[in-house]
Amino acid sequence: MMERREFVCGMIGAGVALATEGWGDAAREVLRPGLELYSVRNEMDRDVPGTLAMVQRMGFTEVEVAMLHGLSANQFAAALQAAGLKATSMAAGYEDLQARLDLVKERAEAFSVKWVMLGGFRTAESSRGKMRSGSRER
């Protein structure tokens, strides 16, 4: 039985496909919608290769990496390649960008990403570890 998230992701993929249908190949090459893997983080926790294969079947070829789900950066990069996906960006936490830039650089190089984005940050007003922008640490 199809899970709700898989259905919703499939509908989003179908909507993108329909929306770009009349644009022609040149426009489709310019606009290559990607998927933020944080959107399927719970599925990734259970089955990285299966979830990446599902993402590829939905028509995505480019993704943004948020978490490694227990894998090293090189293992995760290999899983992406095996699924026919390319990471074009990755998320990094504020603390990592401030204190562990070498780790962020190592991961960015493993994925050959062009962009590293700030996934969320703590403020002095944050209570009980909540992140600004609705993100949460893992």
Where exactly are the structural domains of the chain?
A: 33-120
For the stretch 89-136, pLDDT in tens is 999 988 888 899 999 999 999 999 989 998 777 766 654 555 555 444
**Per-residue CA distances from 47 to 34, 44, 109 (Å):** 20, 5, 24
For the stretch 33-43, pLDDT in tens is 899 999 999 99
CB atoms within 10 A of CB 94: 14
- Closest CA relative to residue 54, chosen from 7, 21, 95, 91: 7
Q: Which alpha helices (DSSP H) does 31-127 contain, by range?
A: 41-46, 48-57, 73-82, 94-99, 101-111
pTM above 0.85, yes or no: no
- Closest CA relative to residue 136, chosen from 38, 50, 33, 25: 38
Look up tokens 């290999």; give the residue. Answer: 78
DSSP for residue 130: P
Q: For residue 138, what pLDDT is reported?
A: 43
Q: For residue 132, what pLDDT is reported?
A: 52
Q: For residue 17, what pLDDT is reported?
A: 64
**Per-residue CA distances from 133 to 34, 83, 102 (Å):** 20, 30, 25
